[in-house]
Structure formats: C-alpha cells, structure tokens
Amino acid sequence: MNSNTKAADALLKRKLLGASVESFGLFHQFLCIVFRDDTPEDHTLSIDTEIFSNNLDFNSSNLSNNEQALILFSRINLRKIIGIQCSDTGTLTINFDNGRNLAFRGQPADKTCTEPWQIGKGSPEEDPHHYLIIANHGGGYTIWDGNNSAT
C-alpha cells in the first residue's frame, strides 16, 4: 500500500468506523450515501462509479444501475460500519455489521469525469474537523484533513 493510500485509509478509519448509514439517494443525479456519527456534521459519500457487493440478491436486467444501487443501499440503511479499506487502485470497500459489504471502484462510470467517488464532512469555515477525500481516476487520492491543505 503506497503512502497516499495509507493516509486515505487511516483517515477514513478514524472518521467512519462506528458511523451508521443515515440516508441514501440521488443528489444532482449522483448516488449518495450519508453516514452519521456522534458529531454534528454528517459524512457524505458521492458516487460516480461501479458498485459491487458481496451479496447482490437481485438479478433483474430491467432495472437501471441507479435503481439496483438504491435497492442495495436499502439493505445497509441504518447499519454500522465495522470495516473500511482504500486500495492503491482507488477502490473503497466498506463492511457493515449485517455482513454486507460495498466496494466502490476507482474508475469513474462517466468517462468525462475524473473522480469516481468522494467522501467528506463539514467545511473549512464551519468545522475544524472537516475533511474531504477524492479518489482519483486510476488510483491515488486527494486529501484535505482539517487544515486546508491537499495531499
């Protein structure tokens, strides 16, 4: 695991382990999952990539990718995060307390987009604990961790 991946992985473990899925849906045509912990701001994951799961329990070709994702997200609603991992290829894997896991690929679904997923909380003006991690197309991460600096 390279140092950039280690930094993203450590930050997400520190911020998200123990948080629960609060809500999910479409926001400006992008899939989103919102996680809640014991702090005032929620953590928002915005997704523009393929999503995989250890137990996709529907198999209907007449559902769009977004419809399938929303059904999958309903299976993790209100569930607690018990594991999280970033890979050198930009893939994010999240494990939940009901045995399900989700993996978000490090390649964007839209070839004109360069960010397959991003997750963050708060803003620099309002939250001293704000952070933002953006997965870069093809691997690597851009990271802001509470001090307005990017890595």
Which three-class secondary structure state does DSSP give residue 5? helix
Look at 92 and 50; give whichever has higher pLDDT.
92
- Using CA atoms, how far apart are residues 63 and 70, in angstroms rounded to an integer? 11
Average pLDDT over residues 108-120: 84
Supply the pLDDT for residue 131: 94
Of the pLDDT bands very low, low, confident and very high (cuts 50, 70, 90), residue 2 is: very high
pLDDT tens digits, one per residue of 9-28 = 999 999 999 999 999 999 98
Q: Over 90: is that where the pLDDT of 95 sits?
A: yes
**Per-residue pLDDT, 148:** 44
List the domain boundaries for the chain. 3-145
Q: Which of 80, 102, 84 is nearest to 31 (CA)?
A: 102
The pLDDT confidence band at residue 111, using thresholds 50, 70 and 90, is: confident
- Can you give 6-39 as a three-state secondary structure string? HHHHHHHHHHHCCCEEEEEEEECCEEEEEEECCC
Dump the DSSP string for 46-107. Answer: EE-EEEEETT-----TTS-HHHHHHHHHHTTTTPBEEEEEE-TTS-EEEEETTS-EEEEEEE
Q: Tell me which range, 32-41, 109-118, 140-149, is most confidently predicted by mean pLDDT.
A: 32-41
Q: Does 83 or 107 have the greater pLDDT score? A: 83
For residues 56-70, average pLDDT: 76
